[in-house]
Every structure is written in structure tokens, then in C-alpha cells.
């Protein structure tokens, strides 16, 4: 009996560890980027300020130390800037190009305020986490180091980060878990071109159903876990104010986004014999029927 108990006691940690792995939380990949004001260049904002570089590094280290996978902002900026597609004509799109090419699930924008004065130095950071696919805000927190008579900006940054990072990451993880479980929320706005001969009551397709009915049946089939909500329908417009799409493509395992879902809508509408224009802005998909 004693031998049995000893064997069970020896195996228990391994069993508990295996169980923990089975229910392990899926953690997002994060990229931390500096906040920029209008007119500031995202590529050079850190080059011009050594203190900001130190603080951004401390923020990234804090996330790394908590087991999150992070993307190096500086390396990504260099890669995007060297891309042949990046020219003086599209520099305003650097941020979106950087986010899209990062492979990150979430990007964290860090506003960094370093105050140097005769009464003591301090660091203040404002962290805002966004879903890279939809731009939805997931977490917002402010961290303060307090004033100290020290020139060690790294230590002040660590204090500011430690004050807010735990709560910031906890809130962000909770919302990310919801995305993993229930999908991302997107808005889909169907409308008509002024010259379009169609309305929502037009019969389309092979079943002789009204267009609004075809759209709802398709959404029921294709929304993640059949989760969608209709805000309203008129003869000229139909708005789905909450349609869930998956975090990952179930076939390829790659990141899935609103643009990919918009492509599926395009193919469906083409199958109905309709020509459309589609535009994706953040988490909203605009479909205009010609």
C-alpha cells in the first residue's frame, strides 16, 4: 500500500503538469510600437530619443518575462522600410504595413513621457492594446514611476511598467481569450449603388428568394459558430452589426481577417449573379451592390 502511495505521489506532478498543458491559455503574439504625434516619423521617433528606446525595451522585456511572444519593432521597421513597395508616396501607410507584416495578433501602442527636472526624474507610460485585424481596443492602462533623484531611466521605466503591466496584460488576455473562443466581431454594411436595379426585396439566385433572405441564410452558414446579429433591414440597406469571424483560418491555420471574410462575401455575391464593390475599414466591411 505504501509503495502504491509513493508511486502515485511521484507521478502526481507529471499528471498535473500534463493537465495544465491541456488547458493552457492561448497567448497572443504582441508587437510594441511607440505612439507618434501627427507629423512624427514612426521610423525615426526612437532614433531621436534614447530614453524612449530604453522605455520601449523595458515594456517589451516585461511582456517577454510573462511568457508572451513578442515581435521586435525595430527589426520590423527596417524590413518594411527596405521593401521596394515602400516609397515616399505611401509613407503614411507605414504603420498599417508594419502591423500587417508583423504576424502579431495584438499591437500595443506605448505613449512614453520622460520628465527630467530639478525636483526629480520620472517616467509615465500609457499603454493601449489593439487587435491587429480589426483595430479594436483591448486594454488601456497608465503606469507611473514616481519621482526619484536618479538618471537611470531604465530603472524608472521598470517601475512604471511594473505598476501597470500585470493588470494591462490580464485585461488584454481575457479579451483575447474571448476572440479565440467566440471569434472576432466585424460589422457588415450592405448597400446599393445609385444606379443599381436591385433592392433587398429583389429575387436573386436559383431559389427565388429575396436578396435579404439570401444574405441572412449565408451569414448563418458562414459566421463563426453561426454567431451574427442583424441591426436592421430596409429596401436599400442591410446591416449586420456583429458578425463573428475566426481568429485562424480553419483550413490553413493562418491568421484570418475581415478582408478574407469580405472575399468570401464577394464570391457568394458573384454566385448570385451580382456585381459588387467591397471596402474594408478597420472592423467594418462595406459591400456596395452595382
Q: pLDDT (tens digit, 0 to 9) for every residue of the chain, 290 residues total? A: 545 444 444 454 544 444 433 334 678 899 999 998 877 777 788 887 888 889 999 999 999 998 899 999 988 888 877 765 555 455 556 788 888 888 899 999 999 999 999 999 999 999 999 998 888 899 999 999 999 999 999 999 999 999 999 999 999 999 999 999 999 999 999 999 999 999 999 999 888 899 999 999 999 999 999 999 999 999 999 999 999 999 888 888 888 889 999 999 999 999 999 999 999 988 899 999 99
Same domain, 133 and 48: yes
User: Do residues 53 and 77 make contact, with C-beta atoms less than 8 angstroms apart?
Assistant: no
Same domain, 77 and 97: yes
Rg (CA), the chain: 25
Same domain, 176 and 279: no
Same domain, 88 and 127: yes
CA–CA separation, 20 and 106 (whole Å): 24
CA–CA separation, 101 and 78 (whole Å): 12
**Range(s) of the domain holding residue 219:** 183-289
Same domain, 175 and 50: yes
Same domain, 120 and 189: no
Same domain, 71 and 49: yes
What cell does 242 get? 456583429
Same domain, 165 and 233: no
Q: Does residue 66 lie in a domain region?
A: yes
CA–CA separation, 63 and 110 (whole Å): 13
Last residue of a domain, one of 145, 164, 181: 181
Q: What sign does the dihedral 248-23-225-137 (CA atoms) show? A: negative
In the chain, alpha helices (H): 2-22, 50-65, 73-81, 94-102, 153-182, 211-222, 258-271
Whose CA is closest to 124, among 99, 98, 142, 140? 142
Same domain, 42 and 149: yes
Number of residues that this document lists for the chain: 290
Output the domain CATH number for residue 150. Answer: 3.40.50.10610
Provide the b/e sequence for 156-194 (b: ≥16 CB within 10 Å): bbbbbbebbbeebbeebbebbeebbeebbbbbbbbbbee
Q: Does residue 104 lie in a domain region?
A: yes
User: Do residues 262 and 250 make contact, with C-beta atoms less than 8 angstroms apart?
Assistant: no
User: Do residues 121 and 147 make contact, with C-beta atoms less than 8 angstroms apart?
Assistant: yes
Count of the separate structural domains present in the chain: 2
Please report where in the chains the cell 518594411 appears, as a residue: 80
Q: Does residue 265 lie in a domain region?
A: yes
Q: Does residue 207 lie in a domain region?
A: yes
What's the pLDDT score for residue 101? 81
Measure the CA dihedral 59/281/100/35, to 10°: -30
Same domain, 148 and 193: no
* DSSP structural state of residue 192: E
User: Do residues 258 and 283 make contact, with C-beta atoms less than 8 angstroms apart?
Assistant: yes
Q: Does residue 9 lie in a domain region?
A: no
Q: Does residue 145 lie in a domain region?
A: yes
User: Do residues 107 and 31 make contact, with C-beta atoms less than 8 angstroms apart?
Assistant: yes
Same domain, 67 and 147: yes
Last residue of a domain, one of 134, 163, 181: 181
Q: Does residue 119 lie in a domain region?
A: yes
Last residue of a domain, one of 181, 204, 233: 181
Q: Does residue 14 lie in a domain region?
A: no
User: Do residues 58 and 158 make contact, with C-beta atoms less than 8 angstroms apart?
Assistant: yes
* DSSP structural state of residue 236: S
CA–CA separation, 285 and 52 (whole Å): 36
What's the pLDDT score for residue 18? 42
Count of CB atoms situated within 10 Å of the CB of 153: 21
Same domain, 196 and 276: yes
CA–CA separation, 106 and 192 (whole Å): 34
What's the pLDDT score for residue 90? 52
Count of CB atoms situated within 10 Å of the CB of 200: 20
Amino acid at each position: 500500500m505504501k509503495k502504491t502511495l509513493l508511486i502515485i505521489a511521484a507521478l502526481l506532478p507529471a499528471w498535473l503538469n500534463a493537465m495544465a498543458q491541456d488547458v493552457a491559455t492561448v497567448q497572443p503574439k504582441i508587437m510594441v510600437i511607440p505612439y507618434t504625434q501627427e507629423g512624427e516619423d514612426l521610423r525615426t521617433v526612437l532614433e531621436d530619443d534614447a530614453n524612449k528606446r530604453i522605455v520601449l525595451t523595458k515594456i517589451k522585456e516585461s511582456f517577454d518575462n510573462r511568457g508572451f511572444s513578442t515581435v521586435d519593432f525595430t527589426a520590423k521597421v527596417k524590413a518594411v522600410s527596405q521593401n521596394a513597395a515602400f516609397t515616399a508616396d505611401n509613407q503614411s501607410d507605414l504603420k498599417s504595413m508594419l502591423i500587417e507584416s508583423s504576424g502579431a495578433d495584438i499591437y500595443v501602442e506605448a505613449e512614453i513621457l520622460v520628465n527630467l527636472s530639478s525636483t526629480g526624474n520620472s517616467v509615465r507610460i500609457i499603454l493601449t492594446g489593439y487587435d491587429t485585424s480589426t483595430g479594436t481596443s483591448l486594454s488601456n492602462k497608465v503606469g507611473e514611476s514616481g519621482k526619484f533623484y536618479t538618471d537611470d531611466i531604465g530603472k524608472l521605466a521598470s517601475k512604471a511598467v511594473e505598476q501597470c503591466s500585470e493588470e494591462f496584460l490580464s485585461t488584454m488576455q481575457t479579451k483575447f481569450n474571448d476572440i479565440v473562443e467566440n471569434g472576432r466581431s466585424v460589422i457588415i454594411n450592405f448597400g446599393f449603388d445609385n444606379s443599381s436595379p436591385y433592392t433587398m426585396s429583389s429575387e436573386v439566385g436559383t431559389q427565388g428568394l429575396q436578396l435579404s433572405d439570401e444574405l441572412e441564410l449565408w451569414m448563418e452558414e458562414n459566421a463563426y459558430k453561426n454567431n451574427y446579429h442583424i441591426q436592421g433591414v430596409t429596401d436599400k440597406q442591410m446591416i449586420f452589426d456583429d458578425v463573428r469571424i475566426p481568429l485562424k483560418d480553419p483550413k490553413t491555420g493562418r491568421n484570418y481577417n475581415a478582408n478574407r471574410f469580405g472575399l468570401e462575401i464577394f464570391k457568394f455575391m458573384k454566385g448570385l449573379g451580382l456585381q459588387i464593390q467591397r471596402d474594408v475599414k478597420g472592423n467594418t466591411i462595406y459591400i456596395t451592390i452595382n
